Amino acid sequence: MSNTDFVLAVEDLTVSFDGFKAIDALTLYVDRGELRVIIGPNGAGKTTLLDLICGKTRASGGSIKFKNMEMTKMAEHKIVRSGIGRKFQTPSIYENLSVFKNLEVSFPRGRSVFGALGFRCTDEVKTRVQSVADEISLGDSLDVEAGLLSHGQKQWLEIGMLLMQEPELLMLDEPIAGMSVRERELTGELLQRICKGRSVIVIEHDMDFVKRIAHKVTVMHQGKILAEGSMDKVQNDPKVIDVYLGH
């Protein structure tokens, strides 16, 4: 596979579970600074695609290149360290730790065993935690135990934990699921802000939300890409209407 200017180049990616091809020869390119939304019916393979990129699931074939580095054989924590952050579908935070601790733990320093032993929470770390917390509207709740946050706040906290790592590619799996209208708006604004200087991939079902944030939309169906392009173009694609939007 040749080198590209894309931040993420997924080429001919295939994964099969007991013969069922969850992702079938999929090719996808994401630009620097792009906010890409992936939509598709349930079981289309959207979450599996993110799992493959971040190394949670291993590919049966094909390649995933991030900044022209091959990711398919790399250990998960190394993929993260190379600059890919992933938010899970259900908020995945440390419920028993405070908001501050949740963010502090995600600070990308002291990641080895002995590094963690010697890690000190310096002013630099504190400033960074505060600025990220402000970004996700949790600036006043640093001492709150994360388990006590509302569902929407938990979603933000997990996004904040990813922001602490300053990833170049951020992958968000249904970030607004379970959020109120107001929280959706705020999340939309948050996504617009954080895609400055980095690429973001979002999986989402809410079409109004997608319309508001997406630079480009990819429609997946049965492990393949059905259509790709601007929201308008995709919405008027007869194939897409047939499998997804029309129903």
Instruction: Candidates 36, 46, 65, 86: give the one binding another protein (CB under 8 A).
Output: 86
From start to end of 18-168, where are the E strands?
A: 20-30, 35-39, 61-66, 69-70, 84-87
Which lies closer to another protein via its Cβ, residue 79 or residue 225? Answer: 79
Minimum Å gap between C-beta 184 and another protein is 9
Tell me the β-bridge partners of 224: 221
Alpha-carbon gap, residue 113 to 99, rounded angstroms = 23
Which lies closer to another protein via its Cβ, residue 199 or residue 235? Answer: 199
Q: Which of 8-16, 157-165, 195-203, 229-237 is the region at the interface with another protein (rule: CB under 8 A)?
A: 157-165
Minimum Å gap between C-beta 48 and another protein is 15
Q: How far is the CA of 136 from the CAs of 13, 144, 180, in angstroms? A: 34, 14, 15
**Residue owning tokens 């320093």:** 109
Q: Is 122 a residue that touches another protein (CB under 8 A)?
A: no
Alpha-carbon gap, residue 56 to 67, rounded angstroms = 19
Q: Is 54 a residue that touches another protein (CB under 8 A)?
A: yes
Q: Which of 30-38, 63-71, 75-83, 216-224 is the region at the interface with another protein (rule: CB under 8 A)?
A: 75-83
Q: Is 89 a residue that touches another protein (CB under 8 A)?
A: no
Minimum Å gap between C-beta 116 and another protein is 4
Minimum Å gap between C-beta 246 and another protein is 30
Minimum Å gap between C-beta 105 and another protein is 6
Q: Is 149 a residue that touches another protein (CB under 8 A)?
A: yes
Q: Under the phi-then-psi rule, with left for phi > 0, alpha for psi from -120 to 50, and beta for the rest, what region is 126?
A: alpha
Q: What are phi and psi of 95, to 5 degrees?
A: -60, -35
Instruction: Candidates 58, 124, 178, 242: give the one binding another protein (CB under 8 A).
Output: 178
DSSP-derived secondary structure letter, 98: B
Alpha-carbon gap, residue 234 to 240, rounded angstroms = 7
DSSP-derived secondary structure letter, 136: T
Of residues 188-247, those binding another protein (CB under 8 A): none
Contact yes or no for 55/121 (Cβ under 8 A): no
Q: Which of 63-71, 143-151, 206-214, 230-238 is the region at the interface with another protein (rule: CB under 8 A)?
A: 143-151
DSSP-derived pairing of the beta strands 61-66 and 69-70: antiparallel
Q: How far is the CA of 154 from the CAs of 65, 96, 144, 174, in angstroms? A: 31, 13, 12, 13
Applying CB under 8 A, the residues found at the interface with another protein are: 54, 56, 75-77, 80-81, 85-86, 88, 92-97, 101, 104-106, 108, 110-113, 116-119, 121, 137, 140-141, 144-145, 147-153, 158, 161, 165, 178-183, 186
